[in-house]
Structure 1
Amino acid sequence: MKVWSDHALPPEVRQSLVGSLFANRATLLTGVLVHVFVYLVVFHKTADPFFIALCFAILAIFLYRAQVFLRFGRADKPASTAADAWRWERRYLVGATLTAATLGIGCGYAVYGYADSFVELACISVTLASMVSIVGRNYGSERAVDLQCLACCLPIIVGALGSGDLYMILLSLLLLPFILTTRLMAAAARDFLAENVIASRQMKKMVDSFDTALNNMTHGLIMLDPDSRIQVINRKACHLLRLGDRNRLQGCALEVALEFGARDAAGPEPLSHVLLDQIRSLGGGAQDRVQMHISDELILEFSANRRPEGGVVLIFEDVTARITAERRVLDMVRYDSLTGLPLRDHFIELVGDRMGDPDGEAAAGLMLLDVDGFRHVNDLKGHLTGDELLIAIARRLKSVLPSAPVARLVGDQFVVFLLDPGGADGLTARMEDLRVALGQDYDLPGSMVRVKFSAGGLVGAEDDDRLLQQEWRRRLDLALFESKARGGNSLTMFTCDIDARYVERQRLEDDLRQAVAEGALTIVYQPVYTADGTRIDRCEALARWHHPVKGHIAPNIFIPIAEEIGIISDVTRVVMEQACRDCMTWPEPVSVSVNLSSQDLRDERIVEVIRNALASSGLSASRLHVEITETSLMEEIATARAVLDRLQEDGLTIAIDDFGTGFSSLSYLDRLPAQVVKIDRSFVLDIANQPRRLQLLQGIVQLTRRLGLEIVVEGIETEDQLALVNKHKCADFVQGFVYSTPIQGDRIADLVEQARRKYGVRGIHVA
């Protein structure tokens, strides 16, 4: 144990020790009465007035000490500071030291002046008895112990020395170890009190900290004894359960507290009973945690831990916000925010629940609905109107099919699950009726929209789990694609043939990717002659694909596939590079023409592709024509114009291919930097038998010539067609089988030479 001296004591300990000096006030009066009584008895025997004087001195000192004690008791926090503590200790020391000195002087006087054993024994007894009480009463002050011991013992020793009695002197000297023992005992008591005061203060701080932490927890906490009585409860628990003042709940049975707590909680059964059942389940280890719906605005989550000595610690928290957020997130995951319909995953769950009857004999089916022309609704009427239309469609779906699972997939696509006891035929008929019923006028804010639907259907048995396999979406997409390919506004049921065509298409796509990557495409060229056939002006590069298994694949098959799978730009690059290299082997100034796709015109990197092809081959830009179709210009005309302007600046010739087949042909002549117009073959087809076609062709030619553009007529296959075109001067150049079919690039030079020999110098055009 640490030994504390007065000057090393912590302030709060010193204050407590000073307070202990003034604690036992009753003993003060007892001591005075005993002291006065003894000295009166001694006076009666000796008749020595000195002892009467001692009685008066003791009474006077007592009065002083009594008023000091009274003042200390009446003071508000008398030893609250170190200075106050020392001031009160000093006042106590004066009275205690005077009392001890009075007793010591009386005892020393008796030893020195009287040889009477009674007088000596009476005085020494009362003095030593007072010294013994020093430990129990004055241990709180080291100075008080020292001063009182010295004040009592020194007069006795002096009296013994003055008496000359050797034995009395030796006996008096034994007071010195008695003084030391008294000091040690008092120090031990003082140290014990100091340690306990410090420990008590620390414990109080810990308790205060624990109480602060406990009552500032975001969780409610209740500690129960083995009899389910509340030992500890924090403020949060009282607030959440509405139990009132927590100080009144100590020792209260939990059931009683709950009974008078949340009496207005939701549920038909009293909350106390429900909670207690759940708590018993938690405390028994049957479950880790449980959620309780206390009211519409409060959801609590409880957990329990058993205490080693018995009883349970309950911890619970308000999870209302979390549960509400989880429900909101779950709704966001399960339901479409615009239409309120289930999304795909939740739709599958709902369908799985409907297909849970193993004895079901009805036909089950899925139908994918797609709004025909929905993009035009967004473009013409705005996206807000488009959203209103989707909401109206969802509302109509739910009204027509109030109990059937219906979901929105992506964009303007909806999927429906149907059951029909009439079998596959009945279900198919029901799907068609539903499609027609949905395809009506929709009265939207500010507009009326006429809607038609394309649909794809898939039918299986009610207990056929394969209906919900991952393939269902692909199969519905395939069936819907068939409906779209047939012009829309129809229902197509999925069949194995559709799947086989899809698989074949996938294989063809993979083979095409491989062919482009390995350079397996070949290039042929169809010459473009002057209208009189005297010379070759240019040759159009045409891609060809010879499949190793399927043989020749027509361009009208693999070119759209390349565009759809996003590799048409790679095809363009391959054709462009090969065409430039081949053109360098032909006599000048025969040029080459290469087609650009709509994807090429949306990506300005095509300019660098063409420049690299010209640079690597050494071909002059003036010998390269690029052809664009009207359909490729229908989207993002601004980007296409920027690309064509850069190509024209580089010296390339721009030609509009298949002119007359689009919706905006005339406007393109004005908006694009074109030098050549290639009139589509449809205008010369059966031109000899249909005069209106010839008149239409002449009108286009007149307009084009006024704009200063060269004219190429495509698709000339017969001499009669050629004669009519030349008779009416409808072409500067012609292209078609009448002069040549597409041929290999190494044969172009031979054709040029043949024209030169046949027509002389006119066979080679000199620019």
Structure 2
Amino acid sequence: MKPHNPNRVPTDVYLSFVSSLFGNRMTLVAGVIVHVVAFLAVALKTSSPFYVALSVGFLAVFAGRMVTFRMFDKVDKRTLSREQIEHWETVYVIGAASTAAILGIGSGYAIFILQDPFAELACIAVTMASMVSVVGRNYGSQKAIDLQTLACCLPMIICSLMALDFYRAILSAFLIPFGLTTRAMANGVREFLYENVIARRQISMIADRFDTALNNMPHGLVMVDPENRIQVINRKACDLLKIGDPERLKERDLGAVLRYGARYSFMDSTQPELILRQMTHVAEGKLSRTLIHFPEDLSLEFSASRRADGGAVLIFEDVSSRVKAEQKILHMVRFDALTGLPNREYFSHLVQDYLTKYQKKRGPVAFMVLDIDEFKHVNDMRGHITGDRLLCAIASRIAKQAGKAIVGRLMGDQFILFFPHAKDMAALDAEIHRFHESIQGNYDADDVTFLVSLSAGFAILESDAFAMEEWSIKADLALFESKSKQRGGIAGFEREMDGRYIEQQKLKADLREAIGNQGLSVAYQPMFKADGTRIECAEALARWVHPEKGAIPPDVFIRIAEEMGIISEITRFILMKACKDCMSWPDHIAVSVNLSARDLRDADILAVVSEALEASRLEPARLHLEITESCLIDEPAAVRAILAELRARGITIAIDDFGTGFSSLSYLDTLPLDIVKIDRSFLRNIVEDGRRLKLLRGTVNLARELGLKIVTEGVETTEQLALLNKYRATDLVQGYVFSPAVPAQNIAILSQSLSRRTAPRRRPKVA
């Protein structure tokens, strides 16, 4: 990199070169003394006043140069422009060239005029000595080198030639390569220094950039030598570890620094050694990186690499936010969002962890399932927000009363618990019953107090026999057993339940097969006019005769079908069969079919009903569809829309089992109904209990005020029938007092029998 042209040299470097010309002034003092003494000696030897004049010239030039040096010292170098720097260079060159010219003229005068050996030797020796010093002092200016060399050598060369001495001419010719060599040496020095200045500036720039990057990087960085002494450490590392200023830590032992941090900052005493050990493991490739948790919710992730000289580079970053986010995500994955309890999967993980930890410990453990009784009514009556708050209150009490038991939320309104090792089964059984009793009672949610009962099923077993899925099923069987007996009950698993469960599973499979193979049948219970003179309608009832178990009660297989989600297939079968059978009856007899809650969950039932009517060609008016309150719980608005569409097609809509629910009266006004079927529970003790009769009559009167037809179910005795007729409390009667359910062909036979019985007898003619 050669700065041949000063304009190509950066201004700051150019200034440093020019400033070097005005430095080291003692050499000038020594030089002027030598010059004056030598020239005065020549004057004394040769009695030439010319050298006295030259000596005075030396002193005058020296004085002028000293004045310019002082002026340059006073200039603010930071404000100098390139032109001003060049001006000062010119000022210096003029002074230096003037001194060189005096030397050259003195030497030439001695060669050509005086021709005195001493004068020639003295003048030429001083001049050549000055030429040598030109390189060391004036390398910063190529113009100074060139002019001084020319001013010194040119007079001597000219005067040697003018002396017409062959040998002097040869010697003077040697001054040319001498001058060129001097010039080249000065340029070489200047170029070397220029390259070093540029390199130093680049190194300084790189160092500044490295330092800026090092101290602004988001990672902490520590570089240590083979003896574990800190060579480089950035500010981020000091801030993260809280170990002081980076400058004070260099050449300190990293372990000592970390131990100091543990003593005076937030680290505990074990963490310095942990960091050093983990750094060694990472550097050796045993770990790719390691995460260390510190107090104050700080988490640092470390990585390290071994250097070629045996040292290491340790890099770490603050990953607290990432760790917190991962912990939050992990919590969301593991815990129920509403109650904060472990979900089923994490509950299983906690149980397995416990069993693994205490696998050598012997003793009974228990698995328990809890179910909140009739929790759905809370959501229906108070809304889901209140229901959720009540659920949280229940979960909180369960967790509080559970003690050492592991608690989880199974789903919806069900919870699961795992009771750890107990002394014996009797003690564990007592603990479970105590816990179950403690969670019953009143709960507050949204300023409302709810009386809550929870049904429970549990299974106790030895810990080495525990299998989550198997014993979850056993606890479910016990829960089913407790719910079938009473609300808020508790039952432990017994081996007989396993047999019943297996039997039920087989029954489900047989029912599915029966539905697929048309193995069900339909019986019809007729609805008579109140006086028993006519059949108006017949209710279609599903029947199933099992090939091995015989007749299965409808309430059993219908419930199973609902659990299996195949009740709609039974409904479709009954609809098709009922409409077809109805066509074989007298025209005034209709057929009634029950719809389940699942049937009314979507509009598919509309297509099924239309298909049944079209296939049988039955008039819509002869088809009655019965619904219960349970059909309206999930989506009442959607159910109303479906019923309205069916009624608009001419189909009669009836509400079945009226009076068994807590909100039945509201349905009379909001639903598109034609018939109200009074539940058999209204007739219980109606003959003996006058209040029940009044309740029945009031309900009937309300329905009639709304223009609804009344059907009374479960009329068993003539006394009940007599009371109903006495108070005109029904329009149609359905019950054993007239007829049980019969096959389809019997409906027509019964109707014909009633017609013959009520037909007027012909009187014999009188002759």
| TM-score, with length taken from structure 1 | 0.81
**2:401 — aligned with what?**
397
Q: Is it true that 1:69 corresponds to 2:73 in the alignment? A: no
Distance 1:153 1:169 in 2: 13
Q: Is it true that 1:629 corresponds to 2:628 in the alignment? A: yes
Percent identity over paired residues: 46
**1:106 — aligned with what?**
106
The alpha-carbon deviation at position 753 of structure 1 amounts to 10
The alpha-carbon deviation at position 357 of structure 1 amounts to 5.1
Instruction: State whether residues 392 and 442 of structure 1, in contact with CA within 8 Å, keep that contact through their aligned partners in structure 2.
Output: no
**1:364 — aligned with what?**
365
Q: Is it true that 1:238 corresponds to 2:247 in the alignment? A: no
The letter of the residue matching 2:215 is N
The letter of the residue matching 2:466 is L
Partner deviation per Cα, 1:39-60 (whole Å, 9 max, x = no partner): 2333233332222222222222
Instruction: State whether residues 215 and 234 of structure 1, in contact with CA within 8 Å, keep that contact through their aligned partners in structure 2.
Output: yes
Distance 1:241 1:114 in 2: 85
Instruction: State whether residues 586 and 748 of structure 2, in contact with CA within 8 Å, keep that contact through their aligned partners in structure 1.
Output: no
The alpha-carbon deviation at position 583 of structure 1 amounts to 6.1
The letter of the residue matching 1:365 is A
- CA change 1:528–1:90 in 2 (3 A) is farther
Q: How many aligned residue pairs are there?
A: 753
**1:524 — aligned with what?**
522
Matches for 1:425-444 after TM superposition, within 5 Å: 425-439=426-440
- CA change 1:701–1:178 in 2 (3 A) is same
- CA change 1:116–1:366 in 2 (3 A) is same
**2:390 — aligned with what?**
386
Which one is further off, 191-200 or 105-114? 105-114
- CA change 1:15–1:749 in 2 (3 A) is farther
The alpha-carbon deviation at position 125 of structure 1 amounts to 3.6
Which one is further off, 305-314 or 501-510? 501-510
The letter of the residue matching 2:82 is A
Instruction: State whether residues 390 and 444 of structure 2, in contact with CA within 8 Å, keep that contact through their aligned partners in structure 1.
Output: no
Unaligned runs of 5+ residues in structure 2 are 761-767
Instruction: State whether residues 534 and 755 of structure 1, in contact with CA within 8 Å, keep that contact through their aligned partners in structure 2.
Output: no
Distance 1:52 1:467 in 2: 123
Distance 2:653 2:224 in 1: 91
User: SS of 1:599's equivalent?
Assistant: coil
Distance 2:513 2:13 in 1: 93
The alpha-carbon deviation at position 294 of structure 1 amounts to 6.4
Matches for 1:196-215 after TM superposition, within 5 Å: 196-215=196-215
User: SS of 1:206's equivalent?
Assistant: helix
User: SS of 1:64's equivalent?
Assistant: helix
Instruction: State whether residues 396 and 438 of structure 1, in contact with CA within 8 Å, keep that contact through their aligned partners in structure 2.
Output: no
The alpha-carbon deviation at position 417 of structure 1 amounts to 0.4
**1:678 — aligned with what?**
677
Instruction: State whether residues 262 and 268 of structure 2, in contact with CA within 8 Å, keep that contact through their aligned partners in structure 1.
Output: no
The letter of the residue matching 1:644 is L
Distance 1:591 1:435 in 2: 52
Partner deviation per Cα, 1:417-441 (whole Å, 9 max, x = no partner): 054434x345334433443354456
Which one is further off, 196-205 or 124-133? 124-133
Matches for 1:693-708 after TM superposition, within 5 Å: 704-708=703-707
User: SS of 1:524's equivalent?
Assistant: strand
Partner deviation per Cα, 1:529-550 (whole Å, 9 max, x = no partner): 6537777655544455677887
Instruction: State whether residues 527 and 539 of structure 2, in contact with CA within 8 Å, keep that contact through their aligned partners in structure 1.
Output: no
The letter of the residue matching 1:19 is S
Instruction: State whether residues 520 and 543 of structure 2, in contact with CA within 8 Å, keep that contact through their aligned partners in structure 1.
Output: yes
Distance 1:678 1:194 in 2: 112
The letter of the residue matching 1:488 is R
**2:82 — aligned with what?**
82
**1:247 — aligned with what?**
247
**2:647 — aligned with what?**
648
Instruction: State whether residues 347 and 407 of structure 2, in contact with CA within 8 Å, keep that contact through their aligned partners in structure 1.
Output: no
Matches for 1:452-471 after TM superposition, within 5 Å: 452-462=453-463, 464=464, 466-471=465-470
**2:186 — aligned with what?**
186
Instruction: State whether residues 265 and 294 of structure 1, in contact with CA within 8 Å, keep that contact through their aligned partners in structure 2.
Output: no
The alpha-carbon deviation at position 204 of structure 1 amounts to 0.8
Which one is further off, 528-537 or 497-506? 528-537
Partner deviation per Cα, 1:35-88 (whole Å, 9 max, x = no partner): 333323332333322222222222222223233333434544357643343233
- CA change 1:705–1:91 in 2 (3 A) is same
Instruction: State whether residues 401 and 438 of structure 2, in contact with CA within 8 Å, keep that contact through their aligned partners in structure 1.
Output: no
Matches for 1:256-275 after TM superposition, within 5 Å: 257=257, 263-265=263-265
The letter of the residue matching 1:49 is P
The letter of the residue matching 1:564 is E
The alpha-carbon deviation at position 761 of structure 1 amounts to 12
- CA change 1:290–1:555 in 2 (3 A) is same
Matches for 1:276-425 after TM superposition, within 5 Å: 302-318=302-318, 345=346, 349=350, 352-353=353-354, 356=357, 360-374=361-375, 379=381, 382-383=386-387, 386=390, 389-390=393-394, 393-394=397-398, 397=401, 401=403, 403-406=404-407, 409-410=410-411, 411=413, 413-422=415-424, 424-425=425-426
The alpha-carbon deviation at position 321 of structure 1 amounts to 5.8
Distance 2:746 2:189 in 1: 125
Instruction: State whether residues 527 and 536 of structure 1, in contact with CA within 8 Å, keep that contact through their aligned partners in structure 2.
Output: no
**1:115 — aligned with what?**
115
The alpha-carbon deviation at position 657 of structure 1 amounts to 2.3
Distance 1:386 1:739 in 2: 49
The alpha-carbon deviation at position 396 of structure 1 amounts to 5.2
Distance 2:275 2:755 in 1: 109
Distance 1:740 1:731 in 2: 19
- CA change 1:103–1:286 in 2 (3 A) is same
Distance 1:409 1:289 in 2: 38
Partner deviation per Cα, 1:115-137 (whole Å, 9 max, x = no partner): 34443344334334433333333
The alpha-carbon deviation at position 526 of structure 1 amounts to 2.5
**2:555 — aligned with what?**
556
- CA change 1:545–1:312 in 2 (3 A) is same
Instruction: State whether residues 367 and 472 of structure 2, in contact with CA within 8 Å, keep that contact through their aligned partners in structure 1.
Output: no
User: SS of 1:102's equivalent?
Assistant: helix
| TM-score, with length taken from structure 2 | 0.81
Matches for 1:532-681 after TM superposition, within 5 Å: 537-538=536-537, 540-543=539-542, 554-573=553-572, 575-576=574-575, 591-604=590-603, 606-607=605-606, 610=609, 620-633=619-632, 636-680=635-679
Instruction: State whether residues 593 and 625 of structure 1, in contact with CA within 8 Å, keep that contact through their aligned partners in structure 2.
Output: yes
- CA change 1:488–1:619 in 2 (3 A) is same
**1:765 — aligned with what?**
none
Distance 2:423 2:260 in 1: 58
The alpha-carbon deviation at position 92 of structure 1 amounts to 2.1
User: SS of 2:417's equivalent?
Assistant: strand
The alpha-carbon deviation at position 460 of structure 1 amounts to 1.2
The letter of the residue matching 1:209 is R
Distance 1:142 1:581 in 2: 123
**2:57 — aligned with what?**
57
Distance 1:511 1:48 in 2: 147
- CA change 1:674–1:229 in 2 (3 A) is closer
Instruction: State whether residues 265 and 271 of structure 1, in contact with CA within 8 Å, keep that contact through their aligned partners in structure 2.
Output: no
Instruction: State whether residues 533 and 739 of structure 1, in contact with CA within 8 Å, keep that contact through their aligned partners in structure 2.
Output: no
- CA change 1:31–1:650 in 2 (3 A) is farther
- CA change 1:720–1:299 in 2 (3 A) is closer
Partner deviation per Cα, 1:704-742 (whole Å, 9 max, x = no partner): 555443344556789999899789876655556756845
User: SS of 1:31's equivalent?
Assistant: helix
RMSD: 4.7
The alpha-carbon deviation at position 608 of structure 1 amounts to 5.5
- CA change 1:142–1:441 in 2 (3 A) is same
Instruction: State whether residues 522 and 574 of structure 2, in contact with CA within 8 Å, keep that contact through their aligned partners in structure 1.
Output: no
Distance 2:109 2:709 in 1: 153
- CA change 1:661–1:280 in 2 (3 A) is closer
- CA change 1:294–1:733 in 2 (3 A) is closer
Distance 1:740 1:275 in 2: 86
The alpha-carbon deviation at position 216 of structure 1 amounts to 1.9
The alpha-carbon deviation at position 185 of structure 1 amounts to 3.3
The alpha-carbon deviation at position 107 of structure 1 amounts to 3.0
Distance 2:566 2:718 in 1: 39
Unaligned runs of 5+ residues in structure 1 are 763-767
The alpha-carbon deviation at position 459 of structure 1 amounts to 1.3
